[in-house]
Structure 1
Amino acid sequence: MKQEKWFDRKFNFKSEENIFPSILERLGGTPARLEEKLRGVSEDILTFSPDTKWTIKENIGHLVDLEPLWQGRLQDIINGEIELRPTDLQNNKTHLANHNARSLQELLSGFREIRKQTLTALRAIGDETVFKSALHPRLKTPMRTMDLFIFVAEHDDHHLATITTLLAGNGNDNK
């Protein structure tokens, strides 16, 4: 099954329900889902690059690379900024990081630690901040804190699905 490209995705943030506690659970579960999915996977598979696309390690490293952006965008909303800080749409940080040279454990523990920092910041905000917003620079739509972190959870799942596809292409579809 072919996955929609991330930059081709459309998002609709119209719900007025406060589902933020569920979003926090979803975000908090991503490190464990990655660890479970990759338990016992060989280095050859972790660094296999089909069609010059990112490897499994690079997908994990990308999640680590973007976490400071999500943390910064939370600060933008808290600070009352009109627009969220932009990102590097070419993902240069990930392309230059050489994540394949890092151990899987280092990548997974790095992601777990930086995500823990994000969750600590999110658990410290009140309901008013959950519904505060700023304009997303690429999508040109207002994003509340809740919407931003739905977006982050969707981004996590996008890369988890990509990793699942990479594993299946290497004979590891039982993961």
Structure 2
Amino acid sequence: MRRTKWFEREFDFSLPVGVFPCVVERLRGTPARLEELVRSLPPRVLTARRGNSWSIQEHVGHLIDLDELHEGRLEALSEAAVAASALHPRLGKQMRVIDMALFVAEHDDHHLATITELGRNFTIADFGLRNAD
């Protein structure tokens, strides 16, 4: 199945504020899911690139940078703060804090899916490896 490109995605920001703790929990799980995806991949797979596309290692670095940026900030917010909104510059939409958290979670999942795809494709096609051995 062909995945929709990130910049082609459309988002529906209609979650009730009460779902915010679940979205934060999803974000909290990203580092563990990321570690699980890359733990057994050899360095040559982690750093392999196709054309100008990012390597798995570059995707990992991008996610780590963003995780450090958001870490701990979301959990301390009040319900009123979670419901507050501002205009997202690229999307041109009003977004509440819960919407932004969902957007970040979707972004993380997009990169995790890309890492899964790259790991599978590089492992099999380019290195003749099975199960990233």
**Matching residue of 1:35:** 35
In the superposition, the TM-score normalised over structure 1's length comes to 0.67
Query: What number of residue pairs does the alignment pair up?
Result: 127
1:60 — aligned with what? 60
- Match runs of 1:99-138 below 5 Å: 114=68, 118-138=70-90
**Aligned: 1:160 with 2:112:** yes
Q: Which residue of the other structure, out of 99, 102, 107, is the alignment partner of 1:150?
A: 102
Counterparts in 2 of 1:173 and 1:28: CA distance versus 1, 3 Å: farther
Higher relative contact order (CA 8 A, sep 6+): 2
Q: TM-score when scaled to structure 2?
A: 0.87
Flag the 1:64–1:135 CA change in 2: closer, same or farther, 3 A: same
Give CA deviations for 1:82-117 in whole Å, capped at 9, x if unaligned: xxxxxxxxxxxxxxxxxxxxxxxxxxxxx5xx16xx
CA 1:53–1:120: 2 relative to 1, 3 Å: same
Q: CA deviation at 1:148?
A: 0.1
Match in the other structure for 2:12: 12
In structure 2, the CA distance between the partners of 1:173 and 1:21, relative to structure 1 (3 Å rule), is farther
CA distance in structure 2 between the partners assigned to 1:159 and 1:139 by the alignment: 19
CA distance in 2 between counterparts of 1:123 and 1:157 reads: 20
Structure 1 segments of 4+ aligned residues over 6 angstroms from their partners: none
Q: Structure 1 residue 64: deviation in Å? A: 3.1
Matched residues, percent identical?
46
CA RMSD of aligned residues (A): 1.9
1:21 aligned partner, one-letter code = P
Q: Which runs of 5+ in 1 are unaligned?
A: 68-110
Q: 1:140 aligns with which of 66, 70, 92?
A: 92
SS at match of 2:13: coil
What is aligned with 2:24?
24
Ranges in structure 2 where 5+ consecutive residues have no aligned partner = none
SS in 1 for 2:74: helix
